[in-house]
Amino acid sequence: MFIEWKRFGKPSVLGVVTGMVAGLGTITPASGFVGPVGALVIGVTAGFVCFYATQYVKRKLIIDDSLDVFPVHGVGGITGSLLTGVFAAGSLGGLGLADGVSIMDQVGVQALAIVVTGQSH
């Protein structure tokens, strides 16, 4: 919301609601695996990533996505899926990774799942 105010001169209700939906959509893939601190980091990250994705789609690609569906749900879901691999680690407050699996290994698995899912459509 602060970025929106600084950049466009005033916050909007639609911007606030879109930010809340971005946070919820981004934490969804990680909701059963990360702790409270990881969830907060993912939520804050979602605000920035989804805001800039929305601006890119609207201003650079000039695509009229009136409800910001792809930048909020698509990009947010991808971000949440990748960050699940990071914050699921027990050392970061998550449920923990399988024995012998590092954070980078899990992020690789998450990235592969994103690519496979994207290719299926």
Supply the pLDDT for residue 7: 62
Q: What is the pLDDT of residues 73-100, one digit of tens each?
A: 999 999 999 999 999 998 898 888 899 9
Structure tokens at 108: 């690789």
Q: Which residue, 92, 11, 4, 82, is CA-closest to 47? A: 4
What's 17's DSSP letter?
H
Supply the pLDDT for residue 75: 94
Q: What is the pLDDT of residues 5-56, one digit of tens each?
A: 556 667 778 878 888 899 999 999 999 999 999 999 999 999 899 989 988 9
Residue with the two structure tokens 């909007």: 12
What's the CA gap between 103 and 92, in Å, rounded?
10
What's the CA gap between 25 and 9, in Å, rounded?
26
What's the CA gap between 62 and 19, in Å, rounded?
21
